[in-house]
């Protein structure tokens, strides 16, 4: 029997950066909860974006935000995992040597940028619904981040190869689509967050179903017997998953969930 369902958002439920969910999904989540099945959203997005996007069911789901560095539910953070501040500052200084890259500094309570890219800032606020704060200098922040995201409109994996070379042994690094490179504390990922929820609720991997499309979803696929890659997923994800759903634009996840009901 399935007791826990976990889904990524960008690339899995919607195209990257979109908030245009099929409203039928909310009805299905309600029905799953009525059957006693827990539902969690596992995203690279911050909790504020998850909460806004899933507003009709926000009180009935778990939030695995910032790629597993934040676990919470409506009105309450349960677990947060911060990056060492000295390490975070080193990363920022390294990225700044590449002016084509932008940085988003994610904390448990909100996100920060010192970018002058107005188009990016507006997209984060209006598109992703970030709880965004603009500051003069990220290095002046006292709070340690739970995640640092590096942005480039395309080709982020190649553009951040230097980050893997310099920080691969100190941080958990994962591509989230072709635009974002996410950096978390070592050992933090969506899979470890799913495992935390499973252990808290006494749910086994054999009772868990997950959906993903990108490299930052790989670890959570390993936490569920019923691991699905959407058809538009990266090859590495399709190879890792046991099952395949239709594409995100064809409501692949929703189709599987309706069949489950």
Fold classified for 85-185: 3.30.1240
pTM for the model stands at 0.90
126 class by beta-carbon count within 10 Å (0-12 exposed, 13-18 middle, 19+ buried): exposed
Residue 34, C-beta contacts closer than 8 angstroms, at least 6 positions apart: none
Q: Where in the chain is the domain with CATH 3.40.50.1000?
A: 4-80+188-260
User: Superfamily assignment of 4-80+188-260 in CATH?
Assistant: HAD superfamily/HAD-like (3.40.50.1000)
Q: Where in the chain is the domain with CATH 3.30.1240.10?
A: 85-185
Distance, CA of 243 to CA of 221 (rounded, Å): 10
- Local confidence pLDDT in tens for the 261 residues of the chain: 999 999 999 999 998 877 789 999 999 999 999 999 999 999 999 999 999 999 999 999 999 999 999 999 999 999 999 999 999 999 999 999 999 999 999 999 999 999 999 999 999 998 888 889 999 999 999 999 999 999 999 999 999 999 999 999 999 998 888 899 999 999 999 999 999 999 999 999 999 999 999 999 999 999 999 999 999 999 999 999 999 999 999 999 999 999 999
Per the structure block, which two tokens stand in for 253? Answer: 């996840």
């Amino acid at each position: 029997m399935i007791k826990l369902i976990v889904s990524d958002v960008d690339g899995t439920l919607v195209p990257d950066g979109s908030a245009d969910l099929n409203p039928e999904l909310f009805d299905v989540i309600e029905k799953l909860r009525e059957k006693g099945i827990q539902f969690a959203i596992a995203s690279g997005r911050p909790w504020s974006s998850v909460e806004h996007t899933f507003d009709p069911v926000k009180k009935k789901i778990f939030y695995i935000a910032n790629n597993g560095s934040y676990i919470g539910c409506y009105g309450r953070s349960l677990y947060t995992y911060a990056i060492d501040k000295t390490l975070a500052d080193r990363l920022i200084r390294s990225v700044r040597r590449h002016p084509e890259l932008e940085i988003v500094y994610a904390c448990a309570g909100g996100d920060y940028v010192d970018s002058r890219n107005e188009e990016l800032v507006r997209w984060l606020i209006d598109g992703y619904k970030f709880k965004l704060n603009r500051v003069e200098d990220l290095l002046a922040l006292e709070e340690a981040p739970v995640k640092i995201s590096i942005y480039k409109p395309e080709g982020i994996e190649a553009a951040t190869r230097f980050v893997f070379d310099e920080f691969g042994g100190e941080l958990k690094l994962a591509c989230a689509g072709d635009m974002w490179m996410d950096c978390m504390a070592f050992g933090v990922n969506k899979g470890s967050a799913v495992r935390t929820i499973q252990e808290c609720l006494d749910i086994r991997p054999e009772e868990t179903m997950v959906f993903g499309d990108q490299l930052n979803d790989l670890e959570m696929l390993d936490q569920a017997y019923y691991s699905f890659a959407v058809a538009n997923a990266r090859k590495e994800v399709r190879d890792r998953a046991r099952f395949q759903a239709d594409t995100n634009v064809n409501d692949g996840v929703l189709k599987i969930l309706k069949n489950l009901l």
